[in-house]
């Protein structure tokens, strides 16, 4: 008997093609639009209604049933509030990772199973093989970095049909199928605020005050409008006039101070060792005999791991073969063994 699959349809080309591929493989497919965020922020109109209509029309074109799951309250609590809190305490979070962990591969999975699904599917550029997570074959679009916190249950119940494809092929398939989303631009930015600047978004929720910007010599070179808005390695948006560009090297949230340098080789910008916490391993922790690589940001180059040391149940220390620029507290360090995602944690 064919398996029932609920596909998360975002109204974009990737999830539309993933849905069509599953239908062609004789699964019993139902499209689901997850209504996660509908608020307008900082003068920007949230495009959720257009995305919903595009997802619904694509489902009609493919010839499958269509549902809407409303997760907005959960999304506010588990993703948006998390993001705001992390910025308030001086870290730079990745809400897309939390969205995948708490919404797409938890609430969506649970609700789908309750309504009769055997499996769920998404339009992620990643692969699930034998219950293990692997990078997508299109290295420019690979999204496995955002998926490293998935549970074993989620992986055992998930399909990612376009992980085997290159993006241009996905576009070609969408055009061949005459899908409404075939030429729709890819969404940019954070999963729920789209093209809105993070600073503009946060300004609607948090209070901030003007404070000093201090350079590598201890000299005050300008001012900022809230230390929480800045992240390690940032160059743009600094209110510092003339001369060489400045890069953020750190910040003191309690003193509302941002530290910068004009020296790209400044030791405070580069690290070859750091700790991460909230460790999550997809099939057991790494061992000392295997070769691993690590990525500290989406699309950042993979760097060879020299040594991994467990400090406590959830806290680890990593030493790398090469220095990495702008390792940022709150971001994720994701560990790979070749193309397989081993797991990772939050930079502390």
**pLDDT over 90, % of the chain:** 88
- What average pLDDT does this structure show over 55-84? 97
The CA-atom distances, in angstroms, between 118 and each of 3, 30, 65, 111 are 6, 11, 16, 11
Confidence of residue 193 (pLDDT cuts 50, 70, 90): low
CB burial readout 292-301, b (16+ within 10 A) else e: bbbbbbbebe
pLDDT band at 204 (very low <50, low <70, confident <90, very high): confident
For the chain, the structural domain boundaries read 4-176, 207-261, 267-347
Residue whose C-alpha is closest to residue 56's, from 96, 21, 94, 15: 15
Q: Quick one: what percent of the chain has pLDDT higher than 70?
A: 97
Q: Respond yes or no: is residue 99 known to be catalytic.
A: yes
Instruction: With a cut of 80, say whether residue 309 has pLDDT above it.
Output: yes
Spatial contact of 234 and 245, defined as CB atoms under 8 Å apart: no
pLDDT in tens, 101-139: 999 999 999 999 999 999 999 999 999 999 999 999 999
- Give the pLDDT of residue 192: 62
Q: What integer pLDDT is reported at residue 237 of this predicted model?
A: 84
Q: Which residues contact 248 (CB under 8 A, 6 or more apart)?
A: 230, 231, 232, 233, 234, 235, 238, 258, 259, 260
Strand-pairing partners, residue 320, are 305
User: What average pLDDT does the chain have?
Assistant: 94
pLDDT digits (tens, 9 = 90+) for 227-252: 999 999 999 888 887 788 999 999 99
Per-residue pLDDT tens over the stretch 22-49: 999 999 999 999 999 998 877 778 889 9
The CATH code of the domain at 267-347 is 2.40.30.10
Domains 4-176 and 207-261 share a fold: no
- 211-214 and 257-261 as β-strands: parallel, antiparallel, unpaired? parallel
Average pLDDT over residues 244-273: 95
Alpha helices of 106-249 — where are they, by DSSP H? 108-114, 152-156, 167-176, 198-203
CATH 3.40.50.10320 fits 4-176, yes or no: no
Architecture of the domain delimited by 207-261: Roll (2.30)
pLDDT at 157 over 90: yes
Q: Which letter does DSSP use for residue 225 in this model?
A: S
Residue among 99, 174, 334, 335 flagged as catalytic: 99
Of 11 and 201, which is predicted with more confidence? Answer: 11
pLDDT at residue 209 is higher than 70: yes
Candidate list 191, 214, 279, 294, residue with the active-site label: 191
**Could you give the strand order of the β-sheet that contains 257-261, starting from the edge strand earlier in sequence?**
220-224, 211-214, 257-261, 247-252
- State residue 44's pLDDT score: 77
pLDDT given for residue 190 in this prediction: 62
């Amino acid at each position: 008997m064919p398996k029932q699959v609920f596909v998360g349809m975002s109204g974009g080309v990737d999830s539309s093609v993933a849905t069509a591929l599953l239908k062609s493989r004789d699964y019993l497919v139902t499209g689901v639009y997850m209504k996660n965020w509908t608020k307008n922020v900082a003068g920007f109109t949230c495009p959720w209604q257009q995305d919903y209509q595009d997802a619904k029309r694509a489902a009609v074109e493919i010839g499958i049933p269509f549902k809407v799951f409303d997760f907005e309250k959960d999304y506010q609590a588990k993703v948006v509030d998390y993001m705001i809190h992390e910025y308030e305490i001086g870290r730079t979070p990745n809400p897309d990772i939390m969205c995948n962990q708490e919404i797409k591969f938890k609430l969506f999975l649970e609700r789908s199973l309750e309504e009769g699904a055997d499996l769920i599917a998404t339009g992620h550029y990643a692969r699930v093989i034998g219950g293990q997570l692997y990078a997508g074959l299109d290295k420019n679009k690979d999204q496995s970095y955002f998926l490293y916190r998935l549970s074993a249950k989620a992986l055992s119940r998930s399909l990612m049909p376009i992980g085997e494809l290159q993006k241009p092929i996905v576009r070609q398939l969408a055009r061949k199928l005459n899908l409404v989303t075939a030429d729709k631009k890819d969404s940019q930015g954070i999963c729920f605020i789209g093209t809105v600047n993070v600073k503009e978004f946060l300004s609607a929720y948090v209070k901030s005050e003007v404070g000093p910007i201090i350079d590598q010599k201890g000299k005050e070179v300008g001012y900022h409008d809230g230390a929480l808005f800045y992240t390690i390695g940032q160059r743009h948006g600094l209110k510092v006039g003339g001369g060489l560009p400045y890069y953020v090297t750190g910040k003191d949230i309690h003193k509302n101070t941002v530290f910068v340098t004009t020296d790209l080789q400044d030791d405070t910008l580069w690290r070859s060792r750091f700790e991460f916490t909230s460790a999550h391993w997809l099939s057991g922790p790494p061992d000392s005999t295997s070769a691993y690589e690590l990525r500290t940001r989406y699309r950042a180059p993979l760097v060879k791991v020299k040594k991994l040391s467990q400090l406590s149940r959830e806290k680890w220390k990593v030493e790398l073969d090469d220095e990495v620029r702008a390792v940022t507290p709150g971001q994720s360090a994701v560990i790979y063994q070749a193309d397989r995602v081993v797991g990772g944690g939050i930079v502390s």
